[in-house]
Chains A and B, each alone.
Chain A
C-alpha cells in the first residue's frame, strides 16, 4: 500500500490542499475528492476525451494524469466556465445550435475548444474538426458542434481584446 501524498492544486481559481494516494487519477480527484462533477469520465484510457480539462492552460485528458502530478499546477474544468444564469459564450452557442443531446461528451469538448479558440480565434471548419478529433460524440454527428464553435468564435472575437 502506498502512502498518502500531500498536494496543492488550484482548480478554477480556488486553492485546494489534500492528501491522496499516488494512483488516484486527476479525473477521479476532481469528481470524488473535490466534488466537481462537470468533468465526465468515459473510457478511462484516453480514447474518448470526455474528461478533458486544462492543465496550466493546455487541454489534457484527466484520466491520463495522476492527481499527484497536478501538485503546484493550475487546473480548469467545465465547472468554472459559466453559470446557469450566465452561460459562457461557448456554452450559449452549444445550446443555440443544438450541439449536444445527451451531454456526456460536452464538458470535454468545451475544454478542448477553450484553448483552441484562444490560440486561433478565427478557425476554419476544417481546423475546428481537427480540434475536436480527440473527442467522441455519439449523438450529434458533430455537425452542430462545428456550427456552435464557429458561432462562438465570432461572438468571442467581437468581445475579447
Chain B
C-alpha cells in the first residue's frame, strides 16, 4: 500500500472532531478534501499518525449570505459547489473566475474551499484569492474559538497559524464596496496544472474615478501568497492609468517577490510573467470597476 499506516477517525459533528483533535494533539491531522494531503501521503512525504476526516460533518458544508453582506463559506464546501453557486457569482465573482483553473473537474468535485486555504500551498489559488478578498477565518478548538484575519494567517509554505488541536470551520468573504472590480490572471503549462505566476486584483474606485482602494496578490512567486504594498503606495488616490500599472508591475516584480527556479520555469521568467500579469489584472479589474466588462 502506498501511504504509511495511520489511525482513522470519522467524526459526524464538529464537537466530536474537536474532542478528537484535542486528544491527538501533534499526532492528529485534519483530512478535508484530501486532494493535496493524500498525494503527499501516497509519496510518504506526509506520514500523519492519525487522520480526523471531516467529510462526514454536514454542518461544515454550506454557503451563507449574512445580513451584513458578503459570503460565509463552510470549510468542507466542495470546490465544484462553490464554482457553480449563483450567490458566489453575485457576491464574489473573483472566486468564480478563478475556480476553473484549480486542478481538474475531478479534483474540484472532492477538494474543499477551506481545506485549500488551510493547506497554504504558495502556488494555490484559494489562499491567494482569499487574501485578495480580505477573508476572515474562524478557527475552533475544544472549549474556545478565534477569528484570524487572512493577513495574519500564512506563516510560510504549507504553514499557517492553525494549531494542531485547531481546525478551520468557516471562511468569511466581506462584501465588496460599490465600484469594485476584480480580476484573476495566471500563466501555467496547462489550465489545471501548477501556475508559474498568478495575480488577483481587487480595485475600488471613488466617485471621481480615482483609486480608493487596491489589493494585488501575487501567487507562486514567494513562500506565501503576497500582497503588493507597491500597488497600494502608487495607486491609492491616483488615476488608474496603464502608466501607473506598469510602474506597480515593475516595482512589484523586481522587489516584492522571491520566485524560484525549477523544472517548470526560471526565476527570471516568473518575474517577467508576474510583471505582465499585474498589468493585465489591474487593467481588467479597473475596467470592471468602471462597469465596462474587461
Residues of A with Cβ closer than 8 Å to B? 1-2, 5, 21-25, 28, 44-46, 49, 52, 55, 58-61, 63-66, 68-69, 71, 112, 116, 130-131, 133-135
Contacts and interface: CB of A to CB of B under 8 A. Distances in A.
Given A23-B5, A69-B55, A133-B104, 18 more contacts: A2-B7, A22-B5, A22-B51, A23-B3, A24-B1, A45-B43, A46-B35, A55-B109, A59-B106, A60-B106, A64-B34, A64-B38, A68-B10, A68-B53, A130-B105, A133-B192, A134-B106, A134-B192
A22 B105 contact: no
A1 B5 contact: yes
Contacts of B7: 2, 22
Contacts, number: 96
A126 to B, nearest CB: 12
Contacts of A2: 5-8
A2 B51 CA distance: 11
Contacts of A22: 5-8, 51
B67 to A, nearest CB: 32
B164 interface: no
Interface in B4-47: 4-8, 10, 34-35, 38-39, 41-43
Interface string B92-126: 00000000100111110110000000000000000
A65 B34 contact: yes
Contacts of A112: 105-106
From B10, B35, B55, B104, residue with most partner A Cβ within 10 Å: B104
Contacts of A1: 5
A21 B107 contact: no
Given A65-B110, A134-B192, A23 B1 contact: yes
B105 A21 contact: no
Given A25-B1, A25-B2, A134-B103, A66 B8 contact: yes
Interface residues of B, number: 31
Contacts of B35: 46, 61, 64
A45 B44 CA distance: 11
B8 A46 contact: no
From A24, A28, A46, A59, residue with most partner B Cβ within 10 Å: A46
7 contacts: A21-B1, A23-B1, A23-B4, A23-B41, A25-B38, A69-B10, A116-B105
Contacts of B100: 130
A60 B110 CA distance: 7
Nearest to B190: A133
B233 interface: no
Contacts of B53: 68-69
A64 B104 contact: no
A33 to B, nearest CB: 12
Nearest to A68: B8
B85 to A, nearest CB: 15
Nearest to B104: A134
B47 to A, nearest CB: 10
A158 B190 CA distance: 34
Contact of B110 (A5, A25, A64): A64
A146 to B, nearest CB: 16
A158 to B, nearest CB: 25
B191 interface: yes
A58 B39 contact: no
A58 B8 contact: no
A2 B41 CA distance: 15
Nearest to A22: B8
A13 B190 CA distance: 36
Contacts of A61: 35, 106-107, 110
B36 to A, nearest CB: 9
